[in-house]
Chain A
């Protein structure tokens, strides 16, 4: 593999993402209901996700955070028997409207999962390029896009000499950042993350958190987390869910210092959950 055409690595240690987009993209949820067969998991949630901000979703286990997140890029309906009703807007477009192509929705709204899941048959390079190849995107300099994405994920310096090696040969934290690189390589507008650090050690977690802070210049980010400190560190606004309902959504400082609802206060102070 030749790197001749690529720009030399900058000396700055801080991860640099692709050039910031002119204007960000927001999402709006209106009266969303989600079901698994007979289980009513999301009971009429309405909220917004501001452009180029990190929105954290917290709440006790089983309150529907993952379900809501998966509704935001229509991955929810991939589960047999699962369905969702309501309105989810990406900017002005209802992604649940008739005639909307699910595939296009998922290209615009990327996802990072709890467990790092690089494709086991693919090299580091191919993993990052996978989204573009699977989408049949033409006319893109793959090498450049892969490098930019890996830099964006703060992984380039660690893997630049082994782009041809299997992606599953990396450490857990590196694999998760590889998955982030894979997600941002298709240039989505929004990146959804479901407990992206829960399988990582503190140092790897710190790296991913720094990464999230850097990524929000280019993407709108929604993150589900169980870790209150993490929500406090990375997010601009925080939404607290309980039993499938949104209890409150406010700037992160307010949620942690001056919550409006007693249930939120109990949860963030660790009294239940």
Chain B
């Protein structure tokens, strides 16, 4: 070993020590962050798996306090219906706003104001959207009182800023030179957006939308004030509707252990649904050409 390398050795030693300490610290931090996550999953599985059965998925809650409480079929269907309608409202509007911001708004003051409000909306607690819809649509008695579609409206409001923000990022990723190429071919702006920008951004837009769907699916508060719980099954978005989060909310405070177990089963089902949607979103994101 040469003298020059010997002279360097102490520095290298200290650096290695710092490196090791930092590594240990980061590892510990990661572990601490993982503990609650693992515990949540563990409790969910431990308490929820026992409640699952064929009947759990194929029967509606009976609403009886004693005797057979029934399954959660109406809650699953209700959640799917309400979230589907919410997506049908929230995603097109959100993508539309994002398109305005990226393609037309630019740095104009109006676009900046929209961006600011979207940011504020992202931070609004979900219960506020629930209250808003409660006052505007339920108390006012438009189309009856509680109804599935009113829950959808509340969830759509919740999804709107999430979709807008992430869609804006995705659309901004579409390279400008593609827009220029299309414009230089003599395509009108709206066609450039429809035929070039949207298809190029599609995988990212789907991912952004699915993540917003997953987020909305687990919300309880907006539905509590707007759709309310009914025990039986209903396909009618115009009437009261059951949903998984509200079912969990109701069941878990019951003194009947069987009903509490149903809450855990429903929670596990909800998490599984959300996980599925997130996985699909990740899969599509990975196939995206823009990432």
In the complex with contacts A120-B200, A121-B200, A106-B181 CB distance below 8 A: no
In the complex with contacts A117-B177, A134-B195, A78-B183 CB distance below 8 A: yes
Q: Is A267 an interface residue (CB 8 A)?
A: no
Q: Mark B202-213, 1 if CB is under 8 A from A, else 0.
A: 100000000000
Q: Mark B169-192, 1 if CB is under 8 A from A, else 0.
A: 000000101101111111110011
Bound complex: CA A120 to CA B199 (Å): 9
Residues of B near A182 (CB, < 8 A) are: 181, 185
Bound complex: CA A136 to CA B195 (Å): 12
Give the size range of A's interface with the partner. Answer: 20 to 34
Stretch at the interface among A107-115, A197-205, A210-218: A107-115
Q: Mark B126-148, 1 if CB is under 8 A from A, else 0.
A: 00000000000000000000000
Q: Is B123 an interface residue (CB 8 A)?
A: no
- A103 near B180 with CB under 8 A, answer no
Instruction: Beyond A107-B185, A130-B185, list 10 extra A-B contacts (CB 8 Å).
Output: A80-B107, A117-B177, A117-B180, A121-B196, A130-B195, A134-B185, A134-B195, A135-B185, A135-B186, A136-B191
In the complex with contacts A80-B106, A113-B177, A73-B196 CB distance below 8 A: no
Bound complex: CA A243 to CA B183 (Å): 28
Residues of A near B178 (CB, < 8 A) are: 117, 119-120
Bound complex: CA A78 to CA B289 (Å): 25
- B200 near A131 with CB under 8 A, answer no
B residues neighboring A (CB under 8 Å): 106-107, 175, 177-178, 180-188, 191-192, 195-196, 199-200, 202, 289
Bound complex: CA A134 to CA B180 (Å): 13
Complex: chain A residue closest to B106, CB-CB: A80
Q: Is A104 an interface residue (CB 8 A)?
A: yes
Report the minimum CB–CB distance from A180 to chain B (whole Å). Answer: 12
Bound complex: CA A107 to CA B192 (Å): 14
- A134 near B200 with CB under 8 A, answer no
Residues of A near B289 (CB, < 8 A) are: 120-121
Q: Is A75 an interface residue (CB 8 A)?
A: yes
- B185 near A106 with CB under 8 A, answer yes
Q: Which of A75, A120, A136, A179 has a CB less than 8 Å from the CB of B183?
A: A75
Bound complex: CA A183 to CA B187 (Å): 12
- A115 near B185 with CB under 8 A, answer no
In the complex with contacts A117-B181, A120-B200, A103-B188 CB distance below 8 A: yes
Residues of A near B184 (CB, < 8 A) are: 73, 75, 106, 110-111, 113, 183
- A119 near B185 with CB under 8 A, answer no
Report the minimum CB–CB distance from B206 to chain A (whole Å). Answer: 14
In the complex with contacts A135-B186, A186-B186, A119-B106 CB distance below 8 A: no
- What are some 23 contacts across the A-B interface (CB < 8 A)? A75-B184, A103-B186, A106-B184, A106-B186, A110-B185, A117-B180, A119-B181, A120-B289, A121-B196, A121-B199, A121-B202, A130-B182, A131-B185, A134-B185, A134-B191, A134-B192, A134-B195, A134-B196, A136-B191, A182-B181, A182-B185, A186-B185, A186-B186
Bound complex: CA A106 to CA B200 (Å): 23
Residues of B near A107 (CB, < 8 A) are: 185-186
A residues neighboring B (CB under 8 Å): 73, 75, 78, 80, 103-108, 110-111, 113, 115, 117, 119-121, 130-131, 133-136, 179, 182-183, 186
- B182 near A134 with CB under 8 A, answer yes
Bound complex: CA A60 to CA B107 (Å): 32
Task: With a 10 A CB-CB cut-off, give which of B106, B188, B192 has the most chain A CB atoms.
Answer: B188
In the complex with contacts A120-B200, A121-B199, A121-B289, A106-B183 CB distance below 8 A: yes
Report the minimum CB–CB distance from A104 to chain B (whole Å). Answer: 7
Bound complex: CA A130 to CA B185 (Å): 8
In the complex with contacts A121-B199, A121-B289, A134-B191, A75-B180 CB distance below 8 A: yes
Residues of B near A78 (CB, < 8 A) are: 180, 183
Residues of B near A73 (CB, < 8 A) are: 184
- A134 near B187 with CB under 8 A, answer yes
Residues of A near B187 (CB, < 8 A) are: 103, 131, 134-135
In the complex with contacts A117-B178, A119-B178, A121-B199, A104-B183 CB distance below 8 A: no
Report the minimum CB–CB distance from A197 to chain B (whole Å). Answer: 17
Bound complex: CA A117 to CA B196 (Å): 12
Bound complex: CA A92 to CA B107 (Å): 38
- A119 near B200 with CB under 8 A, answer yes
Bound complex: CA A63 to CA B80 (Å): 60
Report the minimum CB–CB distance from B106 to chain A (whole Å). Answer: 6
Bound complex: CA A107 to CA B191 (Å): 14
Residues of B near A130 (CB, < 8 A) are: 182, 185, 195
Report the minimum CB–CB distance from A101 to chain B (whole Å). Answer: 9
Report the minimum CB–CB distance from A124 to chain B (whole Å). Answer: 15
- B181 near A179 with CB under 8 A, answer yes
Report the minimum CB–CB distance from B239 to chain A (whole Å). Answer: 43
